[in-house]
Every structure is written in C-alpha cells, then in structure tokens.
Amino acid sequence: MIDFHTHSNASDGALSPSELLNRAAAAGIKALALTDHDTIAGFESVSDSVPLGVRLVSGVELSCQWGKVGIHIVGLGFDPLSGGLVEHLSVLDLARLRRAEMIAHRLSQKGMPGALEGAMAVASGAQIGRPHFARWMVMNDHVKTEAEAFKRFLGKGKVGDISTLWPDLQQTVGTIAEAGGLAVLAHPLKYRLTATRLNALCATFVTAGGAAIEVINGHPGPGETERLMSLARAHQLLLSVGSDFHREGEYGAGLGVDTARFPSGSGIWERV
C-alpha cells in the first residue's frame, strides 16, 4: 500500500499533516507523498516527525497551463530547499491570491458580496482555492452543498473558473526536474481531452522532462486504469497512483492504493 497523491489542511484537505500521517500509518501505508496544491508548507511541518513504518516522500501538486487548459502536475522526491522551486511556489502563492480576488469579484456580481474575506477566513492561512469559496457559499446559504457551488459557480466553464494565470507546463515540469524530483501528470482523464489531444499532452509532457502519469486517482472508472497504462507504455512513462484524499467520504478516495497488480519496474514508487 502506498499513496502518492494526498491533501492536508495546508491546502484544501481537512486533516492536519500529522493527522494525515497517523492515518496513513494506521492504514499500513508504506510510502506517502503529501501533495498539497501549490504549497509544501504541510510537508515541511511534518518531515522531521514521520511515524515509524511510513516513508514520507516530498510532494506537491502544481497548477499549470497547457495552452488554455489547466493541468495539475505532481512533483515527487524533490529537494524542498531548491531555489527554483521556492521561487516557483512564491509565484503560485501570488497567482492564487490574484485568482481569489477575481473569483470574489465575479461572485459579488452574482449577488454574493464578501467572498474574498469569507473564503480567506475558511482557509485560515492555507493555500486558498475554490473549495474554500464553496464552503463559504454553503455557510452563507448561497448554495446547499459544495458540489452545488462547483456545479453552478466554480466548476469548469462557470464564472469562478479562472485558469489563465498559471505558469506553463514546460516551466513547471522543468522546475521539478531542476529540484531533483520526478514530475507526474496528475489525473489525465479529468481534463476531458480527446484521445488525440491527450496524446499530444503526453508528448509535450515527456519532451519537457516528465517522468510518470497517474493511472489511479481516487476511484477510477471501468477500464480507465488499463487505458492509462497503455498510454504510459506508448510514451514510455512510469506509473504513479494516489487516492487524491481530501477528507472522509468526499471527492477523492480513502487513503492508500495497492500496487500489487502493476508489473515490477513500472512504478515511480520504485524510483523515489
């Protein structure tokens, strides 16, 4: 059992980094990466106090863009002190703040004033993201559930979906590689690309220095893992797996993925 895609309350997850590690230890997970959105603050806060039996791999989930498409790249096994990475993360801090201001402005035009202050309070120091806006919208009776907030206001193609200010994919993959890490194309089927475009994305990712693609993210649909494994073979990419755990019973899966089904030598978990 391993898990190379998880979130803590340093971004949009519910558990603190140490609660997450304890849960991973209890679940018998041997190797874990905490991959918060655009921050390594959670990883850094626990990297010196990892429970016995768990190997904590440095991790992050970086927002970037491939043309107009927002893409997530997971970085694994990098040096957290790398100057290039630290600089990249500070650019992302600012991008997330600017985006939050834009989201709040658009929500105020939809009759929801005060969203910036509200979402910042929900985030309480964490890397701010759309889920914090969603929770604030529920708390203020603008919507009934967070799912509804995404469906009507924050999800793909809605007013709060702003994806034009992230660094580009090449630069993002380069930053991870320069920091001595391996770059993983996260949840390749969530971008809803045609097969041709997905192939083009993988080719660009490989050329940029990418190492692996996620063949399991949360609960894959029927045949999805097999489809992604052949995509990995076609582009000579390693495999990565993760729950995308955020909180109990929501969005991602529970912690831990069994890697027994994958051929020996194919997994990034054998390299980091």
Q: Is residue 139 classed exposed, middle or buried when 0-12, 13-18 and 19+ CB atoms within 10 A define those classes? A: exposed
CA-CA distance, 37 to 142, in Å (whole number)? 26
Under rule CB under 6 A, which residues in 148-177 are in contact with ligand AMP? 150, 155
The residues near 124 (Cβ < 8 Å, ≥ 6 apart) are none
Q: Is residue 146 at the binding interface for Mn ion, with CB under 5 A as the rule? A: no
Q: Which residues pair with 59 in a beta bridge?
A: 76
**Binding partner of 146, given ligand AMP, Mn ion, none, CB within 5-8 angstroms per partner class:** ligand AMP
Q: Is residue 187 at the binding interface for ligand AMP, with CB under 6 A as the rule? A: no
| Closer residue to ligand AMP in complex, CB, 12/214 | 12
List 193, 251, 254, 266, residue binding ligand AMP (CB under 6 A): 251
Of 110-118, 143-151, 219-227, 228-236, the segment contacting ligand AMP by CB under 6 A is 143-151
Letters for 218-247 (x = contact with ligand AMP by CB under 6 A, - = none) are ----------------------------x-
The residues near 139 (Cβ < 8 Å, ≥ 6 apart) are 118, 122
Q: CA-CA distances (angstroms) from residue 77 to 60, 123, 253?
A: 10, 27, 23
Of 82-90, 123-131, 172-180, 221-229, the segment contacting ligand AMP by CB under 6 A is 123-131
DSSP 228: H
List 112, 146, 175, 201, residue binding ligand AMP (CB under 6 A): 146
